[in-house]
Chains A and B, each alone.
Chain A
Amino acid sequence: MALEAVIGLEVHAQLKTNTKIFCSCPTAFAASENEQVCPVCLGMPGVLPVLNKKAVEFGIRTGLALNSKIAETCRFDRKNYFYADLPKGYQISQYEKPICLGGYIEVNGRKVQIHRAHLEEDAGKLVHAGAAGLHCSDYSKVDFNRSSMPLLEIVSEPDLTSPEEARLYLTELRNILRYIEVCDGNLEEGSFRCDANVSLRPVGQKELGTKTEIKNMNSFRAVQRAIQSEIERQTALIEKGERIVQETRLWNEAEGKTHPMRSKEEAHDYRYFPEPDLMPLTISRQWVEEVRKSLPELPAQRRQRYQSDLGLSSEDAAVLTETKELSDFFESSLALEAPAKAVANWLIGPATAYLKESKKEFCQTALTPQNMADLCQAVSSGKVSSTIAKQLLLDLMAEGGDVAKLIESKGLAQVSDEGPIKAILQEVLDKSPSQLADYASGKVKLRQYFFGEAMKALKGKANPQVINKLLDEMLPPVAAG
């Protein structure tokens, strides 16, 4: 029996508002525990939530970027459960009437369907004292800085079919959120968190199999691995004729396995009901249109434009739009009249290789769009050779600086003057009599040897066209074969 995987993803994206979703505490990084708290996000008696308009705007913005329908009226609900990090004993979320309905993201040319997205508040954070986890710790402290941080939970349909596709979906989703500047998308810092629902079914069957939910994945690679591991686990069970238990499982990165979460004493009944402290939210179509107008070009649109208008390949367009920083850099360089293909080649080739090697993000390098434009100009005008330009690019990424000044101070300008090149070439020919003889007898490939030796002696700065021209003049005629 052939099985297929059905995967759905739930992403909690922390919205980059200046203040929390229901109070005016700042959301910026706090130096110490419980520094950014107030009676509202501490759940003190008698205080009330007031909705942050910016959070709603970011919800609308995301919905539009994900091709969702923006609800005309949405509502907040209370999700009731007790936990020490949840100050009110309920989380204000959206249950029946979320802000965004439906939608899709294009992943590898396929539209992956989105079920919904809803606004909610985050909980605080437990800090276990005396041990790494809850077990064995003497006591726990609660940090409420994160309490009431604005979240948008984006729920996909069970529409993904492979761990690889799940990873690509997440990459694209995070990319979109970064493009529209609503979320940092940082997995390690928890501003972008993902849970996966995984089930299997026989190929051709319509009904979904029993799913498990996987949590605790801290990178896209971990998501992919965890889903893969879960598919393998479920496949093995089904092949043995055993049943899948609906449960939540935790991914253990070190072991590369999922484990069932310790079962709760009772099944959760969240007793959702409409939040009476907040009025139902009406979102005017005018507001939606205003937000729509403010949306930047999205990665998919850029990819399309790079292919159709700039003549780049779909692979190159994909690499260039992978992060907003890189794509924005590309755009800025173009605005400085750098040629698209040359910039694309520099960015995709040596720049990307440098990033991989140095384990840096593009935004951590010192390279500016002006550098890039200057570099392209220097190459096309023959001021530096492309070999030198590549070294310059790497220097600029590492150290920064000004292209013209670097060429000047390091003496990197291309030598096109025939005199010195001729003198060097003559030296090369003089010390290589045997090669010269071989060349004359028909080994024409040796021309490259002479070229290379000369270039080496000239520290790569010689104009290759000039070397070639002089070689034509100085090399002996080749015996006819």
Chain B
Amino acid sequence: MSKSQLIGRTIAELHSLIKAKETSCLEITEAHIEAIEKGDERLGAFLSYTFDQARAAAAHWDERLSNGEAVPLLAGVPVAIKDNMCEVDTRTTCGSKILENFVSPYRAYAVEKLHEAGALILGKTNLDEFAMGSSTEHSAYKVTRNPIDPDYVPGGSSGGSAAAVGAGFCVTALGSDTGGSIRQPASYCGLVGMKPTYGMVSRFGLVAFASSLDQIGPFARNVEDCALTLLAIAGHDKRDSTCLSQSYRDQHAKPALTKAFIQEFKSRSAEENLKGKRIGIIKELIGDGIDDDVKAPILKAAALLEKCGARVEEVSLPHAKYALSVYYLVATAEASANLARFDGVRYGHRNMDAAELHAMYYATRNEGFGAEVKRRIMLGTYALSSGYYDAYYKKAQQVRALITADFHKIFENFEMVVSPTAPSAAFKFGAKSDDPIQMYMSDIASIPANLAGLPGISLPCGLADSNMPVGIQLVGRPMSDASLLQAAQGLETALDLKLVAEKIKSN
């Protein structure tokens, strides 16, 4: 089998090829390394490569599989991880100069789980510095281009992971989503991207941006691969106190996300997966502020959901209009504390010319952080300052509770809600990078799910006037990750789009 034939495949396809001995983990690895070597210079998806580790892992799994061992969930599956997740023996930069040469002595939980599942990690992907941004233009190292059209941004902050999956450099990838950083780039690159329920995946080893909002999740080219990757990384981890306990999962995740459940919904028709589902379409996120060429495919998709037997009705999220403001207070407040540890004392960049401690702090952080990170640290510091705390941070947390309550009210009668993932399709480089507010607005539809800790998934549902993809977002009840994936599968089957797969083939 030629190397190019191994690119753009799904997990199931790769596994059947491995089982039929038509290829090996090592061959799959080499094919993807070749694709990266050919295309990544142009796209800029990766910040570092871990090819040798991937080759070693591939050889390890080939040997085990040849001994007749069962094929684990992601055996032989090339993946990439966002460079804010710690991995041993390679740098974790967070896209920042301040961590330019940082190598952690520990592995993030999600990365451990990928290794256990047999995944082959090819490298670490570009991101907006400390995951702060919506276009991956705020990386201290490079820009990442949209694999569908390199004049466009891939979205962000997990733009590198999105581009890597979209370009066929890997099959799935991990991103982190604080306000839409998986779903928005998935939408911009025509991929499936999911932010699980808060606490579903341990945050251990994920360099924190905003602790109460951050969640790790997968990118994939279809819903099934997204589900399998999530299944591999989910689980209780005692090193993260906000990670859900096993008993809580057993009690509340119904249906539970299992391989059997994924295979079952994959084999079903769109109607079987969607029939009888009560789906709300969020009024506030389909009106003003949403581009017409985004609205159109969303409404078409909603009609398709109805055609497949779902009951679609308009619902209201009355406090949604405050979500962006709430987010930029809570997230920046938490970030201002989370990023305080980058002080040059113990690791990372340090200015060596400063004569005393405070001068060292100022110089180190001034040199180490980019403009967007500094802006957010200042915003957050301000929001927490004495005299402003009640008016900003505290008020924001109160409104956050109202937004959560809005969702729970809807969920009394609906299983999930739909909206566009982002108010517009991918934009061109530089279009918003000088206007932070415009940039912040691109997360307006994805932020509410983070504030309420809900699972959200974005999948492509059509094209905008620019011929760039449009993503539709489904947001479900807490712990309904499996049902959400099932519905997404139904919609994917009904839409039958081949946006990315065709693009990869044409490359």
B residues near A43, Cβ cutoff 8 Å: 341, 346
- CB-based contact A277/B346 at 8 Å: no
Closest Cβ of chain A to B462, distance in Å, is: 37
A377 to B136 alpha-carbon distance, docked (Å): 86
Q: Is A50 an interface residue (CB 8 A)?
A: yes
Are B340 and A47 touching (Cβ within 8 A)?
no
Q: Which residues of B contact A50 (CB under 8 A)?
A: 238-241
- Among B202-210, B260-268, B401-409, which stretch is in contact with chain A? B202-210
Q: Who on chain A is nearest to B333 by CB? A: A273
Q: B385-406: which have CB < 8 Å to A?
A: 385-386, 389, 393
The listed residue (A44, A88, A142) touching B104 by CB distance below 8 A is: A44
- Chain A residues positioned under 8 Å from B334 (CB to CB): 273, 276
| Contact in complex: B341, A46 (CB < 8 Å) | no
Interface residues of B in 304-333 (CB under 8 A from A): 333
Q: Are A276 and B212 in contact (CB under 8 A)?
A: yes
Confirm or deny: A84 has a beta carbon within 8 angstroms of a beta carbon on chain B: yes
* Complex contact B241–A84 (CB within 8 A): no
Is B50 part of the binding interface, using a Cβ–Cβ cutoff of 8 Å? no
A side interface size, CB within 8 A = 30
A84 (CB) vs chain B CBs: closest residue: B345
Bound-state CA distance A82–B346 (Å) is: 13
The smallest C-beta distance from B363 to any residue of chain A, in angstroms, reads: 13
Closest Cβ–Cβ distance, residue A211 to chain B (whole Å) = 19
Residues of B within 8 A of A51 (CB): 241
Contact A89 to B341, CB < 8 A, known contacts A273-B389, A276-B211: yes
Within 8 A of B (CB), among A46-76: 46-51
Q: A45-B207, A46-B108, A46-B207 are in contact. Are A89 and B337 (CB under 8 A)?
A: yes
A193 at the interface (CB under 8 A from B): no
Q: How far is it, in angstroms, between the C-alpha of A47 and the C-alpha of B347 when the chains are bound?
A: 14
Nearest residue, chain B, Cβ from A268: B386
Chain A residue numbers with a CB within 8 Å of B238 are 50
A112 contacts chain B at the CB level, 8 A cutoff? no
Is B343 close to A, CB under 8 A?
yes
Interface residues of A in 252-303 (CB under 8 A from B): 265, 269, 271-273, 276-279
In the docked arrangement, what's the CA distance between A84 and B346, Å? 9
Q: For chain A, what secondary structure do more than half of its interface residues adopt (helix, strand, loop), or is it mixed?
A: loop
Does A393 interact with chain B (Cβ within 8 Å)? no
A47 and B337 contact, CB distance less than 8 A: no
B94 on interface, CB distance cutoff 8 Å: yes
Asked if residues A45 and B357 are in contact (CB atoms below 8 Å), the reply is: no
A42 close to B (CB within 8 Å):
yes
Q: Is the CB of B205 within 8 A of A46?
A: yes
CB of B429 within 8 Å of the partner chain:
no
A79 to chain B, nearest CB (A): 10
Q: What residues of chain A lie closer than 8 Å to B86, measured between beta carbons?
A: 45-46
- Give the Cβ gap from B83 to chain A, nearest Cβ, in Å: 12
Closest beta carbon of chain B to A83's beta carbon, Å: 8
Cβ-based interface call for B117 (8 A): no
Question: In the assembled complex, which residues on chain A have CB atoms less than 8 Å from the CB atom of B205?
Answer: 46-47
Chain B nearest CB from A121 CB (Å) reads 14
Q: Which of A45, A48, A87, A272 contacts B102 (CB 8 A)?
A: A45
CA distance A272 to B347 in the complex (A): 25
Q: Which residue of the partner chain, among B106, B345, B384, contacts A47 with CB atoms under 8 Å?
A: B106
Question: By the criterion CB–CB under 8 Å, are B203 and A87 in contact?
Answer: no
Instruction: Given A80-B384, A279-B242, verify A46-B204 contact (CB < 8 Å).
Output: yes
Q: Interface centre among B108, B203, B207, B341, by most A CB within 10 Å?
A: B341
- Interface pair A271/B239, CB less than 8 Å apart: no
Q: In whole angstroms, how far apart are the Cα atoms of A48 and B105 in the complex?
A: 15
A232-270 contact mask (Cβ, 8 Å, vs B): 1 or 0: 000000000000000000000000000000000100010
A273 to B380, CA, bound (A): 11
Note all chain A residues with C-beta closer than 8 A to B337: 78, 80, 88-90, 271, 273
Q: List B contacts of A278 (CB < 8 A).
A: 241-242
Nearest B residue to A83 via CB reads B357
- Complex Cα distance, B203 from A44, in Å, reads 14
Q: Check B341 against A48 for contact (C-beta < 8 Å).
A: no
Taken residue by residue from 336 to 363, chain B's Cβ proximity to chain A (1 for < 8 Å, 0 otherwise) reads as 1101111101110000000001100100
Binary interface encoding of chain B residues 95-129 relative to chain A, with 1 for a CB under 8 A from any of its CBs, else 0: 00001001011101000000000000000000000
State whether A84 touches B357 (Cβ < 8 A).
yes
B203 CB contacts on chain A under 8 angstroms: 46, 48
Task: List, in ascending order, chain A residues with CB within 8 A of B345's CB.
Answer: 84, 87, 142
A39 within 8 A of B: yes
A273 adjacent to B384 (CB under 8 Å): yes
CA distance A50 to B210 in the complex (A): 18
Minimum CB–CB distance for B39 against chain A, Å: 30
- How far does the alpha carbon of A481 sit from the alpha carbon of B241 in the complex, in Å? 95
From A83, A88, A142, contact of B341 by CB (8 A): A88
CB–CB A88/B241 < 8 A: no
A26 to B211, CA, bound (A): 27
- Chain B nearest CB from A40 CB (Å) reads 8
- A47 adjacent to B346 (CB under 8 Å): no
**Chain B residues with CB below 8 A from A42, complex form:** 346
What separation, in Å, do the CA atoms of A43 and B208 have in the docked complex? 12
Q: Contacts A80-B384, A87-B341, A88-B340; is A45 near B99 (CB within 8 Å)?
A: yes
Question: Separation in Å of the B94 CB from the closest CB of chain A?
Answer: 7
Which residue from B94, B105, B106, B386 sits with its C-beta under 8 Å from A271? B386
Report Cα–Cα, A279/B212, bound state, in Å. Answer: 10
Q: Which residues of B contact A142 (CB under 8 A)?
A: 345-346
* B239–A48 touching, CB < 8 Å: yes
List chain B residues, Cβ under 8 A from A277. 208, 211, 240-242
What residues on A are CB-neighbors of B208 within 8 Å? 45-46, 277
Report the Cα distance A269→B341, complex, angstroms: 17
| B381 at the binding interface (Cβ < 8 Å) | yes
Most chain-A CB neighbours within 10 Å: which of B99, B210, B212?
B212
CA distance A39 to B203 in the complex (A): 15
Which residues of B sit under 8 angstroms from A84, Cβ to Cβ? 343, 345, 357
User: Which residues of A are found within 8 Å of B106, using beta-carbon distances?
Assistant: 39, 44, 46-47
For A279, the chain B residues whose CB sits under 8 A away are: 241-242
Q: Chain B residues near A90: list those with CB within 8 A.
A: 337, 340
**Closest-CB distance, B454 to chain A (whole angstroms):** 17
A-B contact pairs, 13 of them (CB 8 A): A45-B92, A45-B99, A46-B85, A47-B106, A48-B204, A50-B239, A84-B357, A87-B341, A89-B339, A269-B385, A273-B389, A276-B211, A279-B242
Listed in ascending order, the chain B residues whose CB lies under 8 Å from chain A are 84-86, 92, 94, 99, 102, 104-106, 108, 203-208, 210-212, 238-242, 333-334, 336-337, 339-343, 345-347, 357-358, 361, 381, 384-386, 389, 393
Q: A50-B240, A78-B337, A87-B341 are in contact. List 20 more A-B contacts (CB 8 A).
A: A44-B346, A45-B207, A46-B92, A46-B203, A46-B206, A48-B204, A48-B240, A82-B358, A83-B357, A88-B340, A89-B337, A89-B339, A265-B358, A271-B384, A271-B385, A272-B384, A273-B333, A273-B337, A277-B241, A279-B241
Q: Which 4 A-B pairs have the closest CB atoms?
A: A89-B340, A271-B384, A276-B211, A276-B212
Q: Which residues does A use to contact B, with CB under 8 Å? A: 39, 42-51, 78, 80, 82-84, 87-90, 142, 265, 269, 271-273, 276-279
